[in-house]
Amino acid sequence: MDYLEFFDLKENPFRLTPDPFYFYPSGSHNEALSSFNYIVEQKEGFFMCTGEPGTGKTTLLNTFLNTDRWKDRAGIALVLTPRLSPEEFLLTVLEDLNVKVKNTNKNEIIKAFRDFLIENSMFGRRIIIIVDEAQNLPDETLEELRLLSNLETEKEKLLQIVLIGQPELRNRMLLENLKQLNQRITVRTTLNPLTIDETSDYINYRLVKAGKGNVIFEDRAKKFIHKLSKGIPRLINLICSRAMMAAYLDMSRQVKKRHVEYAIRHISDVAMPAVKRRKLLRVSLLTALLITASAIAFIMNYSLHITPVADPTHRADRQDAVVKEPPKVDAVNTDKLPAPGIDMVSPQRTLIVVADTANLMSEPSIDSGTVTQASKGNVFEIADEFKETGGRKWYKVKTSGGKEYWINEKSVKLLP
């Protein structure tokens, strides 16, 4: 019996695709979607939505695009690869909107675009430019967008512009050179990680969408997943998927905390040492406790006038005993230790493979040999990075076995 049959599910509930069918309207996702519709409805001009990687920005966008609400009432230009010069950007937008331009003179292009906007506006049709990953837009292209947003009649904006991106987009907007653009953003919203209750709902919701089946995540497991993922949906999916696999291998239809523990040990090269580190931390706390206890016993003996010794090594022992502070009760309470999760690896930076497969190279160059491959969802610790003269970036990643490879930025996303 295979995995899906065992759980009586139609499909994997925790796939890492921004599928609108699975869109879960958490507090902030719901608010963002309403704002998105609002600015288009009200012709409010500029909308910006930011969120940490994996919080659901692209899923939100796909949900917006998937509804029937705007299908016949809006023309949408969708820019998914925003590292474009102003000219390239403009041409991409016109192509998406099916606007024909006779020549590539910038003034002519803008004029043709304006005519197109006015014509559509007369029929009440919205024209929307949406940019995903907008944090990658060059400054000049952002400035071009500002100029486009000036296209308006006395009564209304002719164009709605939606920028979706990581928090650095919001920070960039605060810079002096983008001040004017920042002032034009009429509605801005942030996608937050899920709360503990939302995480639990989210897991159930995705299971129902995938056919409900007979799998149950026990409460303790869900709480642990929230702690490890910090409520980031992509990480929740990653952990849930592997935890279900662990439960399946265990022939258990209940996903328990131990399955989640098993899952994080197998998810990443990073989480595993983190768990080990937790054990190590426990051992070292115990050792510290023993050392301190012996030191205290030594001092008590000393203060009970057991003959003091002049031997310098004993003095060193005494100094040790005085320097070492007994551990506070909190410090040995393992509940207060940080969770063994992705955050345990900080301050090390980590990345996740987002391509279906990614080549792991011996050197930071496409000409170097591919040594092996990583799959989507693999998480690695970043040991180093390198930028080619052409601008392509490479990350040196480390596996749990201590091996090091280079991976191209195109196949990965940095984790928060």
Can you give the binding site for Mg ion, defined by CB under 5 A?
Answer: 57-58
In the list 4, 16, 65, 187, the residue contacting ligand ATP (rule: CB under 6 A) is 16
Residue (86 or 193) nearer to ligand ATP, CB: 193
When asked if residue 64 is in the footprint of ligand ATP (CB under 6 A), the reply is: no
Cβ neighbors of 128 (< 8 A, separation 6 or more) are 40, 70, 74, 75, 76, 77, 159, 160, 161, 162
By beta-carbon proximity to ligand ATP, the closer residue of 46 and 202 is: 202
C-alpha 406 chain-centroid distance: 21
Q: What is the DSSP letter of 348?
A: S
Cα 268 from Cα 377, distance rounded (Å): 8
Helix (H, G, I), strand (E, B) or coil at 105: coil
- Span near ligand ATP by CB under 6 A; candidates 55-63, 87-95, 144-152, 210-218: 55-63
C-beta of 166 vs 199, nearer to ligand ATP: 166
The span from the CA of 13 to the CA of 202, in Å, is 11
| Cβ burial, residue 202 (10 Å; 0-12/13-18/19+) | buried
Q: Name the residue nearer to ligand ATP (CB basis): 242 or 256.
A: 242
Distance, CA of 319 to CA of 323 (rounded, Å): 6
Which contiguous run of DSSP H or E holds residue 154?
Answer: none
Annotate each residue in 160-189 with x if it binds ligand ATP (CB under 6 A) or - if it does not, as one string: ------x-----------------------
Q: For residue 407, list its beta bridge partners.
A: 395
For residues 59 and 149, which CB has a smaller minimum distance to Mg ion in the complex? 59
Residue 259 binds to ligand ATP (criterion: CB under 6 A): no
Residue placing its CB nearer to Mg ion in the complex, 58 or 292: 58
* Closer Cβ to Mg ion, 58 or 186, answer by number: 58
Pick the piece of the chain touching ligand ATP (CB under 6 A) from 13-21, 243-251, 288-296, 340-348.
13-21
Among 35, 59, 92, 192, binds ligand ATP (CB under 6 A): 59
Cβ atoms of 346 and 404 within 8 Å: the answer is: no
Biggest CA-to-CA distance, the chain: 103
Applying the rule CB under 6 A, the residues between 234 and 253 that interact with ligand ATP are 234, 237
Stretch that binds ligand ATP, among 16-24, 94-102, 246-254, 259-267 (CB under 6 A): 16-24
Q: Of all residues in this chain, which one has the CB nearest to Mg ion in the complex?
A: 58
Least Å from the CB of residue 19 to ligand ATP: 6
Residue 22 interacts with which of Mg ion, ligand ATP, none, CB < 5 to 8 Å by class: ligand ATP
Pairing of strands 254-255, 216-217: parallel
Q: Does 19 bind ligand ATP (CB under 6 A)?
A: yes
CA proximity to 74, closest of 65, 63, 83, 87: 65
Tokens representing 99 are: 């606007």
Coil, strand or helix: which one is 95?
A: helix
Torsion sign across C-alpha atoms 163, 349, 397, 238: negative
Confirm or reject binding of residue 55 to ligand ATP (CB under 6 A). Answer: yes
Q: 136 or 186: whose CB is closer to ligand ATP?
A: 136
Contact 16, 237 (CB under 8 A): yes
- Binding ligand ATP (rule: CB under 6 A), the pick from 3, 8, 10, 17 is 17
In the range 20-39, which residues lie near ligand ATP by CB under 6 A?
22-24, 26, 29
Token digits of residue 198 = 């939302």
Would you count residue 413 as binding ligand ATP (CB under 6 A)?
A: yes
Shortest distance, CB of residue 352 to ligand ATP, whole angstroms? 8
Pairing of strands 393-398, 404-408: antiparallel
Using rule CB under 6 A, residue 75 touches ligand ATP: no
Query: In degrees to the nearest 10, what's the CA dihedral of 147, 120, 127, 144?
Result: -20
Binding site for ligand ATP (CB under 6 A): 16-19, 22-24, 26, 29, 51, 53-59, 166, 233-234, 237, 413
